[in-house]
Amino acid sequence: MKLLYFAQLVDILQRSYEDVELPAAVHNVDQLLSWLADRGEPWTSHMVATRIQVTVNKQFAQPTTEVGDDDEIGLFPMRGV
């Protein structure tokens, strides 16, 4: 899976993208954000559904949107948060 980071996330996470292999337990956007948050700070503070807008293959996603190894995920900080 390719993760793309945008706006201030690039500076906070010190990367604009990364390729990751999903754990078997990650099947949707909510689980993906939880898995990323488990990396520790600064991930924990920023990979929260109320702070991040997610796209899956360039389409806006909901917490229940399914994700897979071949997907491209965009992570955008929400404005004003």
| 15, pLDDT greater than 70 | yes
**pLDDT on residue 20:** 97
pLDDT tens digits along 20-64: 999 999 999 999 999 999 999 999 999 998 899 999 999 999 999
Question: pLDDT-derived band of residue 81, with 50, 70 and 90 as boundaries?
Answer: low
| 79, pLDDT greater than 80 | no
**pLDDT on residue 65:** 98
CATH of the domain at 12: 3.10.20.30
Query: Where in 15-79 does DSSP place strands (E)?
Result: 17-19, 52-56, 59-60, 72-77
**Phi and psi of 35, rounded to 5°?**
-60, -45
The boundaries of the domain holding residue 41 are: 2-77
Counting the structural domains of the chain, the total is 1
Q: Per the confidence metrics, is the pTM higher than 0.85? A: yes
